[in-house]
Amino acid sequence: MKYLILIAALCLPMAGPAQAQLVGAGEAEDVARELETTQIETGASEADPWEGFNRKMFAVNNTFDRALMVPAAKAYRAVTHKKQRKGIRNFLANLRTPVTLVNDILQGEFGRAGETAGRFVINSTIGFGGMGDPAERLGIEQHSEDFGQTLAVWGVDSGPYVVLPFFGPSTVRDGLGSAADVAADPAIWIRTEPAQYFRYSRTGANLLSTREPLIEPLADIEADSLDFYASIRSFYLQSRKREIANGRTTFDDLPDIGEFEEFDEELE
């Protein structure tokens, strides 16, 4: 599914509207479980200097999500089996491995880079091109990295929180990082008609496979939250903090993410 051909071609990592753009396709199930179990605090408006603009963009994205993405995700669920959807998520995550590998190396995480390379070799061969995940059964767990995380490790401040039209929640740093990730994707540089169809197809698959497991968790949050926008903002910033930390429970050796110090207390 292509929400805009130009955006789809240039921004393959993006997962659509604000709600769906919380994770990459390979992590959607984990985030769905986390959304169901995590208490989300709403951040102070002082931490969101562009809140007026952001709320308008959030409303636009939410309208798009309700009108197109949710029905499409439900249709996708109806015509596929749970195991098939899991296989597609595995396949899409495997395709993203080169970007993760580059960012592992740029962050100096050479052990994780070795795991990333190992997962790619194992899953691309005995994992039927990535549809299966035998690497995880061998104890090599999946992780993702992007250039926004790399910039954070290098000490670059996040800048203000921003909701981009169709792209969803981000920060200035993460937006720049996404552009770099697109440039690092080998498929973006192949200028043939089959490659163009591949990029469009992969974008559509990413959108649907990311949105589908979040249908109920996000609907519940919207129904129960006093401020859906603030809840999504809080979750996005918390999840980015955890991703940058690579699973560590203390962030003393990592740069702060902008001015969102209130999330440190909840995560430590």
Average pLDDT, whole number, for the chain?
A: 81
Q: How confident is the model at residue 258 (pLDDT cuts 50, 70, 90)?
A: very low
Higher pLDDT, 54 or 250: 54
d(CA 27, CA 109): 20
Closest to 58 (Cα-Cα) out of 24, 96, 19:
19
d(CA 14, CA 168): 8
Residue 14 has pLDDT above 60, yes or no: no
Q: What HEC string does the chain produce?
A: CCCCHHHHHHCCCCCCCCCCCCCCHHHHHHHHHHHHHCCCCCCCHHHCCCHHHHHHHHHHHHHHHHHHHHHHHHHHHHHCCHHHHHHHHHHHHHHCHHHHHHHHHHCCCHHHHHHHHHHHHHHHHCCHHHCCCHHHHCCCCCCCCCHHHHHHHCCCCCCCEEEECCCEEEEHHHHHHHHHHHHHCHHHHCCCHHHHHHHHHHHHHHHHHHHHHHHHHHHHHHHHCCCHHHHHHHHHHHHHHHHHHCCCCCCCCCCCCCCCCHHHHHHC
Residue 44 has pLDDT above 50, yes or no: no
Q: What angle do CA 67, 144, 7 make, to 5 degrees?
A: 40
Residue 213 has pLDDT above 50, yes or no: yes
**Among 27-31, 193-197, 229-233, the least confident range:** 27-31
Q: How confident is the model at residue 229 (pLDDT cuts 50, 70, 90)?
A: very high
Residue 88 has pLDDT above 90, yes or no: yes
pTM: 0.75
**Among 176-180, 229-233, 250-254, the least confident range:** 250-254
Closest to 50 (Cα-Cα) out of 233, 256, 247, 267:
233
**Among 29-43, 81-95, 113-127, the least confident range:** 29-43
Mind listing the pLDDT tens digit for each residue in 125-150? 999 999 999 999 999 999 999 999 99
